[in-house]
Structure 1
């Protein structure tokens, strides 16, 4: 007779047979019976683990109003999922700032949906470290921002709450997956927003929506408490309408988190000290391949090259460089991300084989919800799971593993140029914002969402290499913003900030039309 607690029952015969089939074991009835008894006996450890507490996290002291669902009359661009009011009495560098956080980032007691019907109603028990740092710096969290469902799309139209509209045109999209964060700062609903970036999800909407978006060096800002896609390429960073506010936010967000498995060495700096600096003698490498992708718009290329000329007029020197690996960075990303994201999904969005803190509350909520409501996920999410699992099963992880090995070559190709140049520059996205279109087929909407048109060809590689990359508005085309991406050496966010700030201080990008 079992002594296991009621919530930890051993498997039934049918369940064990299904598990055996997954491992290609052909068990006889006698073997099946033996393993049922052995498993029941072995599972006694669960009882003791349940008796022990892993509640070592603490909650930042704050007033917490979980708020209400945003309505169209308050939020015509659909940038916000939930308006909330979470603030501490701390006095710090962000006192008086209202901050929006992407709705895949945990704010204790406030609903976190990841823009999916499947997770509606889930309320985290603890704040993500980025939220803790914001509250400790005096900020008030006033919004959970809209996003593409589960952060596996980049067009800005794959949210269960509807598409995020471009702040410059209701006929165009904001970009994603952090589209709500971009639009919330541009429309003045918040002063700063936090987004995540695994393929360009922070930089793409910054480019399309006309704000500054900063993907820091991998691991510089803790990703813990944010719904992951893959530990090796998860990034989180700030968005704002000015380089100054992004630099100020980075000083708050950056730093060590011993419980985040993505971190090894963390090198912080006083990023606001890079503001108002001269860029005399600064060397810029203009990456030729970043202007040559199929689908690149001539006006975007012209706008970014004109921005480089402006930087030269401020004292920098610029030369065109060729990095052939930049083209293949897209394929390396695809091979790594598809399988890693699917395996993360199989692990109920917590993962295995890493040190650090495991979010068991989210794992339980996500695991139950995805098993009960899987059909409600967006087609982008379903494709990610189907393709990633197929690649793993059919090719035994070969393509993921080989691409992981190739990340070293990809990283070295940029590092080699960064020995000569202080920063690398290219368009953030090769084109301006997509039009909002109705009645798209499943294939059409997935292809738009997942970058088939080349939207993320420039952003994806730097999620693989981890280099810091910032998008700053540099002009418009037919009234839509153009973004210039500035890439720096690992942990050299300071130089990236100085270049972006110099351009911003000396130009008005809204008056630069191409």
Structure 2
């Protein structure tokens, strides 16, 4: 049977945990009344689960040896061949290791999930295969995706393709590193605080965080549903646009998607930027750790857009800084409830659940001391806000996101795009093993200041490589109106065609 019926002692313990006091006589009466409910549980257990079928053959794959994985960017290798024809025919793909690929292990960078094997494919996986792509495996990601550095993954730190021992960015660390190193053409990343765009900036790839809800998150392990995004990481703009065309649109299984507006993004690539109105977001250059060399590189890239015919001027959006602050209660309290207490899914939504993931993720409690310091920090903040303030700061922050979005929208009513540095710094060295908690966390979170804001407001944002500082890539971030990814691609393609960013 599905439910092992509780004993009298079990029920007394449950009542106590719910702050109720029952006599043994009352508990016995409730116990008898509960049985018919559990009969329904038994019936549910007998029914087959309703999950998508697996349509493409694959092997379970293997963990590559260190000799065949010099960047530690692969978690698992396999090969899944898609349709013989399609927009992505001949293209190879790596999946961030929080994305379900049926029959292939998924660890999400965290030891508590080691050994978990999904039973169905994420929607984006099926769409990529339907478009002719070949999936070559799972890219290493950071510990439960809670790091903008690349030193927190339980398999091993991921190295920057431009410099061994330096961060490739996170949390889609392996995804960007593999594209930059030329080991795959395309990769899928996830972005809750910049996790597509940060590694793209550090590794010199093109990373698009689409409008919230444009790409279905179905089959991808959630952090917090209101800031979960998935998107493409590529070596050029055209591949990025084609990949988003394939991935975008409602799947009927993800409540994050209200009524997403899809477009043919590749149609924008040859339009140029003549007459495009671009606002230089002043607050995006005012982070405390802003490297002046990064500023100069980004300013030079903006000047190139102006030379190409764009109308460029400074603009202030004070809500940009506010949005970054809103991320903390939303991200910390939200992830504590959904990813940790909710075992990776949570309640109160009609999305597709992975039952085996729920069971496996529940085991984090037995390995809680081994969680990364960056995750622990977020959980401590989140749990304090939940327990001592009843979630009111999470709730108020969600209310204020409408104000933050309105601030961006007001600027984007006057400009087609906003631009700023993706991150304020270039890739930093990995912290040494045994470093202090302070240093470990600093290397994980020091770069998110600009990128987290658009996860709160939901606006599309893309990092494109625009230069090198000390031999390491610099990212320019382009932000557009909701569902205006095409305009971002328009500017990105014009810039890409006009400069050699490695010599810019």
Q: Do these two structures clear the TM 0.5 threshold for a shared fold by scoring above it?
A: yes
What is the deviation of 1:396? Answer: 0.7
Cα offsets for 1:153-193 (capped at 9, x unmatched): 11111000111111111131111000100000011111100
Q: Does 1:365 align with 2:360?
A: yes
Residue matched to 1:483: 475
CA distance, structure 2, for counterparts of residue 337 and residue 17 of structure 1 = 35
Take 1:135 and 1:427, find their aligned partners in 2: how far apart are those partners? Answer: 34
Counterparts of 1:15 and 1:177, CA distance in 2: 41
Give the whole-Å Cα distance in 1 for the aligned partners of 2:367 and 2:199: 29
* Aligned-pair CA distance for 1:372: 4.0
Alignment match, 2:272: 278
Q: Which is worse superposed, 387-396 or 352-361?
A: 352-361
- The residue aligned with 1:445 is 440
Q: 1:434 to 1:16 in 2, by over 3 A?
A: farther
Change beyond 3 A, Cα 1:266–1:30? same
Aligned pair partner of 2:167 in 166, 170, 173: 173
Aligned to 1:77: 71
Give me the whole-angstrom Cα distance separating, in 1, the residues matched to 2:453 and 2:489: 20
Please name the residue that 1:241 is paired with.
235
Q: Output one character per residue of 1:66-121: Cα deviation in whole Å (capped at 9) or x when no partner.
A: 21102221121111111111113431111111100000000111111111121111
TM superposition shift of 1:364: 2.3
Other-structure match for 1:415: 409
Cα pair 2:431 2:443 within 8 Å, conserved: no
1:232 aligned to 2:240? no
Query: Any idea what the Cα deviations from partners look like across 1:383-410, whole Å, max 9, x if unmatched?
Result: 3333322211110111000000000000
Which one of the candidate residues 244, 251, 267 is aligned to 2:245?
Answer: 251
- Matched pairs, number: 502
Look up the match of 2:457. 465
Q: Matched residues in 1 for 2:473 and 2:17: separation? A: 49
Distance in 1, Cα, partners of 2:86 & 2:320? 40
Alignment of 1:131-210 (within 5 A): 131-210=125-204
Q: Indicate the SS of the match to 2:240.
A: helix
* More displaced 10-residue stretch of structure 1: 331-340 or 370-379: 370-379
1:10 aligns with 2:5: yes
For residues 31 and 404 of structure 1, the distance between their equivalents in structure 2, rounded to whole angstroms, comes to: 41
SS at match of 2:449: coil
> Which residue pairs with 2:351 in the alignment?
356
SS in 2 for 1:259: coil
- Cα separation, partners in 2 of 1:18 and 1:288, compared to 1, 3 Å: farther
1-side partners of 2:464 and 2:17: how far apart?
A: 48
Gaps of 5+ in 2: none
Q: Retained in 2: the 8 A contact 1:244–1:275? A: yes
SS in 1 for 2:299: helix
Is the Cα contact below 8 Å between 1:268 and 1:491 reproduced in 2?
A: yes
Q: Report the Cα distance in structure 1 between the residues aligned to 2:257 and 2:231, rounded to whole angstroms.
A: 15
Q: Which residue of structure 1 aligns with residue 395 of structure 2?
A: 401
Residue in structure 2 matched with residue 47 of structure 1 by the alignment:
42
Q: Is the 8 A contact 1:10 1:39 kept in 2?
A: no
- Say if 2:61 and 2:79, in contact at 8 Å, map to a contact too: yes
Distance (whole Å) between structure 2 residues aligned to residue 291 and residue 88 of structure 1:
43
In the TM superposition, what whole-angstrom CA distance separates every residue of 1:218-268 from its partner, at most 9, and x where no partner exists? 111110100001111100001011111111111111111111110011111
What is the alpha-carbon distance in structure 1 between the residues aligned to residue 146 and residue 162 of structure 2?
24
CA shift, 1:28, in A, is: 3.7
SS of 1:471 mapped into structure 2 = strand
Contact 1:300 1:482 in 2 (8 A): yes
Q: Which of the numbers 84, 89, 101 marks the counterpart of 1:90? A: 84
The 10-residue stretch of structure 1 (377-386 or 494-503) with the greater mean CA deviation from structure 2 = 377-386
Cα contact 1:105–1:226 (8 A) shared by 2 = yes
Please give the residue correspondences for 1:379-398 in structure 2 after superposition, counting only pairs within 5 Å. 379-398=373-392
Alpha-carbon separation, structure 2, partners of 1:67 and 1:356: 28
1:349 Cα offset (Å): 1.1
TM-score by length of 2: 0.96
Q: Measured at CA, do residues 33 and 385 of structure 1 come closer, stay the same or move farther in structure 2, by a change above 3 Å?
A: farther
Aligned-residue offset at 1:376: 3.2
Partner SS state of residue 42, structure 1: helix
Structure 2 CA distance for partners of 1:457 and 1:374, relative to 1, 3 Å = same
Aligned residues of 2:430 and 2:443 also touching (Cα < 8 A): no
Shift in Å at residue 437 of structure 1? 2.2
Aligned twin of 1:308: 302
Q: Give the C-alpha shift of residue 15 in structure 1.
A: 4.1
The answer (yes or no) to whether the contact 2:215–2:248 under 8 Å persists in 1 is yes
Tell me, in whole angstroms, the C-alpha distance in 2 between the residues paired with 1:434 and 1:15: 52
Contact kept, 8 Å, 2:421 with 2:476, in 1: the verdict is: yes
Instruction: State whether residues 174 and 183 of structure 1, in contact with CA within 8 Å, keep that contact through their aligned partners in structure 2.
Output: yes
Q: Cα distance, 1:56 vs. partner?
A: 4.5
- Show the counterpart of 1:511: 503
